[in-house]
A and B are shown apart, each in its own frame.
Chain A
Amino acid sequence: GAGVSQSPSNKVTEKGKDVELRCDPISGHTALYWYRQSLGQGLEFLIYFQGNSAPDKSGLPSDRFSAERTGGSVSTLTIQRTQQEDSAVYLCASSLNTDTQYFGPGTRLTVL
């Protein structure tokens, strides 16, 4: 079956611009996570959605970051007024109410 997909695979933007990153989770998975991974660094949790519950936004680094999940499926991560320190690989993962998370290929964001 289809895995988690993310788009775009690469995004280059100028400092100060807004970007939107998309995640399509595995069909039927109720939980969706966003992480980011900077060069040579580990995973940094950003936000978590579970069904219709309020999202856990505790990992968002600033109010420039927001995410939504429409219809319990597709999610969009938005970064406003991008900064160079936002450059990273943004990873999405989904799970079926278990603790095994399945990751997408990531979006590599470069802010010039």
Chain B
Amino acid sequence: DAKTTQPPSMDCAEGRAANLPCNHSTISGNEYVYWYRQIHSQGPQYIIHGLKNNETNEMASLIITEDRKSSTLILPHATLRDTAVYYCTPMKPNFGNEKLTFGTGTRLTIIP
């Protein structure tokens, strides 16, 4: 059973905001939503995570719906270097003993 559903691909114009959706309708109450990305031929890179409140850091913003069944990652001013595969994954904190799993993710292409 898929834990998350993401569109397989998206394009965004350089300089625009990229909004990447994720459905996680089976998320449990104590699971956070984590976002990672993987640029071609590199290891996954942590972006942001949240439980139920919206979060913002230097990389992105995370909007989580009130029912927590979906979320949106926002890259406010996309650059060419943001071209990557983006993964969302629910994960329950377990003092570090959590094995990450990724679905198929969204391949985001930033168009010059």
Binding site for B on A (CB under 8 A): 4, 30-31, 33, 35, 42-43, 45, 48, 50, 56, 59, 91, 93, 95-106
Contacts and interface: CB of A to CB of B under 8 A. Distances in A.
A105 B103 CA distance: 20
Contacts of A95: 96
Interface stretch (B6-14, B38-46, B76-84): B38-46
Nearest to B94: A99
A43 B32 contact: no
Interface residues of B, number: 21
B96 A97 contact: yes
B100 A45 contact: yes
Interface of B: 32, 34, 42-46, 49, 91, 93-104
B100 A50 contact: no
Given A56-B97, A91-B43, 5 more contacts: A43-B44, A45-B99, A98-B96, A99-B49, A105-B42
B interface majority secondary structure? loop
B3 to A, nearest CB: 11
Contacts of A59: 99
Nearest to A51: B96
Nearest to B98: A99
B97 A42 contact: no
Given A35-B100, A59-B99, A106 B42 contact: yes
B101 A103 contact: no
A42 B44 contact: no
A105 B102 contact: no
B99 A31 contact: no
A102 B46 contact: yes
* List of 10 A-B pairs having minimum Cβ-Cβ separation, nearest first: A103-B43, A31-B96, A45-B99, A42-B102, A97-B96, A103-B44, A99-B93, A106-B43, A99-B98, A43-B102
Contacts of A91: 43-44
